[in-house]
Amino acid sequence: MKVLVCIRPGEFEYQEMDAPLAKPGQSIIRIRRIGICGTDLHAFEGTQPYFEYPRILGHELAGDLVDMDQADGFVIGDAVTIIPYFNCGHCIACRNGKPNCCVAIKVCGVHVDGGMVEYLSVPSSSLVHNQGLGYDQLALVEPLAIGAHAVRRAAVQPDEFVLVVGAGPIGLGVMESARIAGGQVIAMDINEGRLDFCRDRLHLLHTVNAGGEDVMERLRHITRGDMPTVVIDATGSLKAINNAFQYMAHGARYVLVGLQKGDIQFSHPEFHKREATLMSSRNATREDFGRVMDSMKQGLIDPTTYITHRVGFSAVKKEFAGWLDPAKGVIKAMVEL
């Protein structure tokens, strides 16, 4: 089978490998869709934490089940997606219902080789039923589930102001889930094209260009002086993460979804006087996947809205670097096999 390997930062190579065979507890998926996410882009740039090369990227996946073992409730030929965070099942996190941050987690396409292949072997426990959704929708469940998990971590309440910093694919998923939870969503980015997308496609009333206006004054105006009670970072930018501490209302919750390699710095007195809460949000759980799929079926989320670029598998090597260029206007690139 053909696979695409990221040999080192900035370099892909197509290779031929033997197709995997089903092992005990494993299932084989014929890959049909691969969504390109920030993790893939950061790995290509060489800025992704927890990463080693060479690596086969790709974890936003949809495909057909072609072989299986210990996959009760599934049949050969089912369209499926996966929960790509392969957990050990017995560590402190797994025992406490948090397999998304398992001590020994192996994220598909990050810690172990991922889905830029024709056939992929995965733990049968990671399989997710299609629930009547198509390949495009199934491939987009995972990034939207990350947003749903962050909103659940923040415990967003109806009518409270939720500032989402970063209007990339993960940030957009956070905005969707915050809107469904009843929050008054404020989108912040430095890319006016992405803010246009938030206004036009997500119908958000409040947007802030962090590079072109007085952010503090704009947030005070939107929140009638209170400032947001929830701030969620989806940038992975150290500058953006550090800046956002000042955007919190007193008593606010700050959730970090974006990830970067540096040290966070903030004023302890300013944080302390707010009695603020700082949380990280890592990956997602099966519950989050279920919520997103239910929202899709109810028409609350149209995931195909995000797909701005499509390409066949054989063209990924040629096209990939261009998806890093903000001028290309990429929200979500979808690879078809």
Q: What is the DSSP letter of 55?
A: B
pLDDT score, position 130: 97
Query: Tell me: the pLDDT tens digits for 174-192?
Result: 999 999 999 999 999 999 9
Return the number of other C-beta atoms located less than 10 Å from residue 294's C-beta. 12
> Residue 140 falls within a domain, yes or no?
no
pLDDT over 90, % of the chain: 87
Residue 139 lies in a domain: no
Query: 304 pLDDT exceeds 90?
Result: no
Helix (H/G/I), strand (E/B), else coil: 267: coil
85 lies in the same domain as 203: no
The CATH number given to whatever domain includes residue 205 is 3.40.50.720
Q: Please indicate, yes or no, whether residues 179 and 83 belong to a single structural domain of this protein.
A: no
CB contact at 8 A, 69 and 22: yes
Quote the number of domains for the chain. 2
Same domain? 107 vs 16:
yes
Query: Are residue 95 and residue 11 in the same domain, yes or no?
Result: yes
325 and 235 belong to one structural domain: no
Residues 191/167, Cβ–Cβ less than 8 Å? yes
Is residue 136 situated within a structural domain? no
E strand or H helix that includes residue 37 = none
The per-residue pLDDT for range 110-137, each reduced to its tens digit, is 999 999 999 999 999 999 999 999 999 9
pLDDT at 287: 97
Average pLDDT over residues 222-245: 96
Residue 91 sits in the same domain as residue 152: no
Assess whether 15 and 94 both reside in one domain. yes
The answer to whether residue 285 sits within a structural domain is no
Q: Residue 117 and residue 97: Cα distance in Å, rounded?
A: 31
Task: Look up the CATH number of the domain holding residue 61.
Answer: 3.90.180.10
In a domain, residue 161? The reply is yes
Q: What is the pLDDT of residues 253-297, one digit of tens each?
A: 999 998 887 899 999 999 999 999 999 999 999 999 999 999 999
Q: Which range of residues forms the domain containing residue 169? A: 147-280
